[in-house]
Structure 1
C-alpha cells in the first residue's frame, strides 16, 4: 500500500518486566468517579451515569519524561488515576465478564487545562480543549493483570509533598462497572486504555515541578514540567 506520506508511529506504553510494548488504540477517561473529588468539584456523587471523554492515543508520555507546560492555559492541573489496559475487545460487556477483557493495570495522570474546562462547562461545550491535548496522558509501565484490583492506595506527590491520597476502593463506579458502561457506547478493542477517574486534591502545576505518583502494587510514574 502506498501512502501520500509516511504514517505516524504507533503510540505505545512500556510493559513492566518486559521489552514488549503495549500498542495504544484509543484512550477513554471517566469523569467524576471518586466521591470526594465529585464533591470537590461541586457535584452530587452517583446522581447520573458515568461521564466519558477521550484523549488521542499519541497523548501518552513515558515515565521519567519532561513534559512541556501546555499551551493555551494558565491553570494546568494534575489528576492521578488507575488505568486499565484492554486486551480483549467486546461490546455490551457484562460486569461479571469485565476482568477477562483487562490485559493489565497502570498508574496515569490526566493532565487538564482547568481554565478551559471551566469555560466549557459554563456553556455546555465539549471538553476536548481541556483534556485532549498533546502530552496530556503520562502513564507508567503496564503490569499484566493478576487478581482483580479492588483495593489499593493511589497517591500523587508534587515536589515531595503529597497532594492526592486515596484508595481505588473509593471509586463510585467500580472497574467492572466502568468497563460495562463504556462498552455500551463503544466496542472496546485490544489496545484501548481506560483512565478510571481521580480522587480529591487535584491542583495546579508550575514549570519546574517534579511529580511522582503510584497505585499500590503497580510500577510508579514520575515526570517533570518544563517550559515550552
Structure 2
C-alpha cells in the first residue's frame, strides 16, 4: 500500500489517498472509501485526514484500511493521476540525514569534497529542518546569490511509526512505518567549517515522496534499486544492499541519545554519482529536471527554478 497526499479540483487542502502499487495510476481517496463502506478506523473513528494521522493511530488502523482496500472501491473514491496534484506525503517532525553511507560515495567524497577517505566507524549524522521539505513536482529553488554548486542525492527515506528511544538493532524495524524517497539537495559551497546544516537545510532542499510504501509491503528494504536522472540522463544507479550501516543499525545509533517520533524521517544516505564527483563537476541549474527513483515506491520528479 502506497500512501499519498494530494489536492484535487481546486481544493487547496491536502487529502489522504492510497495507490495499490507504483504502477497503478489511480488514487483512492481514503475518506470517500471509508464513507462508502460506512467503516470506522480503530484509534480514529472516522477516516484519517493525513498520513500522519494514520501513522499515529497505529497498526490496527493500517490493518483496517488494508481490509477496506481488499474490497470493492466505489467510482466516487477514484481519482486519476491527471486529476490530482501530489504533495509531500507528510511533514516530518525532523529529518535525520546520514552521510557517507555507501562505500563508493565515501571514496568520491574524499576525492572531491575533502571528507575523510576512511570508512566511517559510526553513522555520520546531520539534520534537515521540516521547512526544507517540498513535494513531487514542486520546484527546487536555485538561488545563484547563495550557491553555484547545487547537487543531488537520491536516498531511501525511512518513516518512523512508533516512538523509538534506546532501541536495539534486533527490534528496530518494528518501529518503521514505511519507506519513501528523499532527494538530499545540497549547496556544496555553503558548507561552513565542516558543518552541513545550511548547505542541506535551505528551503526546498528536501524533496520528499511521491508516496510512503508501508513496511509490511516491503519484504527487504536492503534490496531496492535506486537511481537518479537529470534531464533524462542517469547520474546515480545502485541498490540499498550497499549501505554501510543498515536501517536497524541507524535506528539503534540515533535512538541511543535521541527520541524518534511517529512521522520522523531518516534519510539513509546517497550512493555514488553526485554532481561533485564528475570531472568536470556537474551541478544543477535553473531549467533542469531531477528524477529520483526507488523500486516499488516510485519516481520523485522536481524542476529546478531560479529563486533570485
TM tier, smaller: 0.7 to 0.9
Match of 1:132 among 187, 193, 201: 201
- Give the alignment's TM-score, normalised by structure 2: 0.65
Match of 2:172 among 98, 107, 122: 98
- Give the alignment's TM-score, normalised by structure 1: 0.87
Post-superposition offset of 1:105: 0.2
Look up the SS of the partner of 1:199 in the other structure. Answer: coil
Look up the SS of the partner of 1:65 in the other structure. Answer: coil
Q: Is the 1:158–1:212 Cα contact (8 Å) retained in structure 2?
A: yes
Post-superposition offset of 1:219: 2.3
Post-superposition offset of 1:101: 0.6
Judging changes above 3 Å, is the alpha-carbon distance between structure 1 residues 128 and 113 closer, same or farther for their aligned structure 2 residues? same
Post-superposition offset of 1:107: 1.2
CA distance in 1, matches of 2:200, 2:15: 19
Alignment of 1:1-228 (within 5 A): 16-17=18-19, 19=29, 20-22=50-52, 23=90, 24-42=92-110, 43-70=116-143, 72-117=146-191, 120=192, 123-124=193-194, 126-140=195-209, 141-146=211-216, 147-203=219-275, 204-228=283-307
Identify the structure with bigger relative contact order (alpha carbons < 8 Å, sequence gap 6+).
Answer: 1
Q: Is the 1:15–1:142 Cα contact (8 Å) retained in structure 2?
A: no
Name the Cα RMSD after superposition.
1.9
Consecutive unaligned residues in structure 2, runs of 5 or more: 1-13, 20-27, 30-49, 53-89, 111-115, 276-282
CA distance in 2, matches of 1:102, 1:185: 18
Mean alpha-carbon deviation: is it higher for 161-170 or for 71-80? 71-80
Post-superposition offset of 1:65: 1.2
CA distance in 1, matches of 2:16, 2:153: 21
Q: Is the 2:186–2:199 Cα contact (8 Å) retained in structure 1?
A: yes
Post-superposition offset of 1:45: 4.9
Q: Is the 2:139–2:204 Cα contact (8 Å) retained in structure 1?
A: no
Consecutive unaligned residues in structure 1, runs of 5 or more: 1-11
Post-superposition offset of 1:66: 2.0
CA distance in 2, matches of 1:55, 1:113: 13
Q: Which has the higher helix share?
A: 2
Post-superposition offset of 1:48: 2.5
Post-superposition offset of 1:81: 0.3
